[in-house]
Amino acid sequence: MYVFSTEIFDKIRETSASARGEWEITDAISQLSKEKKTVLAVKISQDDWIDIGRPWDLLEANRWALERMEHKVYGLVENGAHLVGPVSVAETARIRSGAYIEGPALIDEESDIGPNCYIRSYTSIGKKVRIGNACEIKNSIIMDNVHIGHLSYVGDSILGEKCNLGAGTITANYRLDGGTIKMVVKDRVVDSGRTKLGAVLGDNVKAGINALFMPGVKVGCNSWVGPNVVVQRDVAADTVVLLKQNLEERKLSS
């Protein structure tokens, strides 16, 4: 990780492309050092570092952060709601009656949860999120301005900002054979090593009622998944996926 003052930009302009055809930030740092500018290095322990190069690494980072933060409840928790273990509820958040939240978990500003929701451990819910009646969220990252319709299940998944899931949406997170779940990363199929892994949805993804996302699928930003669609493979950004029906209509015999 680098933390730079604005001086770095002048040095970047003075550098030229390397043998790989890239402008290397290390060249600019070396130039600053040669000019006796202050360049400091700090070594951090392995316990304070976690790599997030793959999608499922975000879930591990989320777990890491939730276990280390100080949890406090400031927002409105209605009678009949239950918070078990370390749970943070921001000042403008609302937890409706019948909700059951297991910590560690985070509910951020202006989010509205419930009624009758089950928020399981290691879930982070961002700002202005609406989770409808009778939903279950487990070990997931729900980013800002997401709407999850009633009777939905989100497990071991990541939902980007402004996603909208219709009622009854399911993110499946477990293979029928119990095997580890694979995901396509940079055009390669990579074994996550996890037996529980749901879906990763980019920003502004919309899902119709009863949409089903199979374990390990990714959906690009701004895509729409229609009602009753089973998403079995990755969906590119700016794509609409709809289910065609073959309907038969006939008169009842008298």
Full-model pTM: 0.86
- State the pLDDT at residue 253: 83
Question: Higher-confidence residue: 4 or 165?
Answer: 165
Distance CA(139)–CA(158), nearest Å, equals: 9
Active-site annotation holder among 71, 82, 147, 150: 150
Instruction: Give the model's confidence band at 219: pLDDT under 50 very low, under 70 low, under 90 confident, else very high.
Output: very high
Task: For the chain, give every domain's residue range.
Answer: 1-42, 64-241
Report the share of the chain in percent with pLDDT over 70. 100
The amino acid at 24:
E
Q: In what order do the strands lie in the sheet with 147-148?
A: 76-77, 94-95, 112-113, 130-131, 147-148, 164-165, 206-207, 224-225, 240-241
Q: Is 46 left (phi over 0), alpha (psi -120 to 50) or beta?
A: alpha
Q: If you average pLDDT over residues 146-173, what whole number do you get? A: 98
d(CA 27, CA 15) in angstroms, rounded, equals 7
Beta bridge partners of 225: 207, 241
CATH class of this structure's domain 64-241: mainly beta
Q: What is the mean pLDDT of residues 217-234?
A: 98
When pLDDT is averaged across residues 53-74 and rounded to a whole number, the result is 96
Antiparallel, parallel or unpaired: β 147-148 and 130-131:
parallel
State the pLDDT at residue 44.
Answer: 87
Which residues are CB-neighbours of 7 under 8 A, at least 6 positions away? 32, 37
82 is an active site residue = no
pLDDT(89) > 90 = yes
Whether residue 196 is predicted with pLDDT greater than 90 in this model: the reply is yes
What span, in angstroms and rounded, lies between the C-alpha atoms of 130 and 109? 11
